[in-house]
Amino acid sequence: MLNDLPAGQQVYLITGYTDLRRSIDGLASIIQGQLNLDPFSTALFLFCGRRRDRIKCLLWESDGFLLLYKRLDNGCFQWPRSEMEAKLLTPQQVRWLLEGLKIEQPKAIREGKPGALY
């Protein structure tokens, strides 16, 4: 499901450590209380615990919340550990995250400077 997100789906990565024992209500209260976002929006919210091998995802559907839980058998997610904030991810960053890469990748090709002709 996470690999087949619809085009235009907003995905927020919640940085820092999250206690994954929290239920739907606990995760929704973080979204609303600490991050001042709307848990009833159509956005997908991603949370990660200290071990970085598990994530929880919270998504509001028209009739209730959907809670997804993913545990990796081998490896860990490259999760930003800054203080708790919500980062809006691009589709490419979501792919990188789910493939085990960092969401901030160095540029493969450097940007050109206008007027730099030889």
Tell me, yes or no, whether 114 lies in a domain.
no
Partners of 65 in the β-ladder? 60
Does some domain include residue 16? yes
Give the tens place of pLDDT for each residue, 28-59. 999 999 999 999 999 999 999 999 999 999 99
User: Alpha-carbon torsion 28, 86, 18, 77, what sign?
Assistant: positive
Asked if residue 113 is part of any domain, the answer here is no
- Output the pLDDT for position 117: 62
Say how many domains are in the chain.
1
For residue 49, what are the CA distances in angstroms to 63, 81, 102? 27, 10, 16
At 102, is the pLDDT very low, low, confident or very high (cuts 50, 70, 90)? confident
In a domain, 36, yes or no: yes
Q: Provide the 10 A C-beta neighbour count for residue 103.
A: 19
Averaged pLDDT score across all residues of the chain: 87
Identify the helix (H) or strand (E) that includes residue 26.
helix 24-29
Range of the structural domain that residue 78 is part of = 8-98
